[in-house]
Structure 1
Amino acid sequence: MTDPQTGSWFARRPRAPQAPDRVILRICARVAPRDKRVHVANMPLGGVEVWVDGNGDRWVHYHRMARELRLAGWFTEVTAERLMVLGWSSECLVHRARMLDAALAGRLSDYSRTARSAFALGTRLREEKVPADEIATRVRDHVGRELRWPDRLAELDGLERTASLEALRLRLAQVAGLEAKVSRRCAEHLTLASQVVMSLVGPDAGRSARSWTRAPGRLIGLTERMVAASVPNRPEVPRPETVTVARRDLAETPR
């Protein structure tokens, strides 16, 4: 059976969920050095084991991987030979919720820093005669690395997070809600960076930057204009009219 609009009913199905071992592999591969190959395998009694080829600093690599996996909410154990991921941890999920809250109140609330960073990098790349489309890509990637959370959230994309214990399910639901807020905030920052790049590669970008530098008192700078554009205007709440209450003499008060 086909859908007359999309051509197939199967195109409307949601994407298949990602297996935990594939997600764990993505996280560990990001943390590990490029010359180290990461392996994962499901353990017979549950959980996932991770190991890397070679000797040397495997202990250091495992602890770095464990840190990122704990930030995702998993309980981990590290030995000299391998790293074991043993399921969701209530303590680690609480820590993840705190980190997400801190990101919302900290770096992700600073739109001005994003605009300044995008403007500085975009200007340097433009002076180096980098093509406009490459400038947009490099600025967006740079801002994403500064924010840190876009890559972290993308690594967990498609992972079906469930638990048999009610307390863990509540923690997972809390984390999912905070992740949705962080994802929207990251999208706003990346959109702001794209707006800065579009202003730089346009025909009047150079003149706008020079006028901002010459007359900062009369003209609003590029950073401030972009930040102002990203914040929705809120209608002013009308204040209630002042009511004058007549004062009565104490002598007139009936006793």
Structure 2
Amino acid sequence: MHNFDFAKPSTIADAAKALAAEGAQALSGGQTLIPTMKQRLAAPAVLVSLTGIREMQGVCLGEGGLHVGAATPHAVVAREARAHYPALADLAGGIGDPSVRSRGTIGGSIANNDPAACYPAAVLASGATVVTDRRRIAADDYFQGLFTTALEAGEIVTTVIFPIPQKAAYVKFNQPASRFALTGVFVAKFASGVRVAVTGAGNDGVFRWAEAERALSADFSASALSGLSVDPAGMMSDLHGSAAYRANLVKVLTGRAVTAAG
């Protein structure tokens, strides 16, 4: 690991100023960044910790739904979101292991946008709003490809606002060593229709399965998916699973999520 300076501001404004320095990098839970630095694949000159900013922590009901501070650890989301959004709490409680859940944060997860991370599926399926220190970004505009988001340099995710659906569930098939999603599907039913988001499978990262959304909006049951299929051409293929295998998992797990939500 290379030498670096460390800053831990207590306000969003101070964090933004610190991130304006040359070579500065935001640090949230550090579950991805720190191992990357240890391997010397990243060498920020300054690490700006966001975990000391109280206004970026906690879970509460507010305008537009459930507000989750970006510096809130997974374990806290799992505990505090349960009364309002059980599917989101279940997702958070199934990320990694206890050590990861105690340190990793929702803001760090969606800022990194790992193609196999769980939170992007919840954000996209919920039609959530990503709030930063500069603007609000709709989930459909936020995720833009593998490890790519709409965030600009130095922009800080401060809160994620989740509209609360009538029914929802998240089901994933774990990669057993990492507990990342080999494939994961989040289904959310709103009065306006159903949203289905898939992680761990697509070549371009998290995506919505539009055909399933139309079918489930008309009939919210696993049987509504019987005539559908997922094109393997858009799926990832690696030593853990072929594109065809992942394509089949998308359909199977969507059906299981619908059943669990119902």
TM-score range, shorter chain: under 0.3
TM-score by length of 2: 0.23
Q: Going by fraction, where is helix more abundant, 1 or 2?
A: 1
Higher relative contact order, chain-length normalized (CA < 8 Å, sep 6+) = 1
Q: Going by fraction, where is strand more abundant, 1 or 2?
A: 2
- Structure number, greater radius of gyration: 1
TM-score by length of 1: 0.24
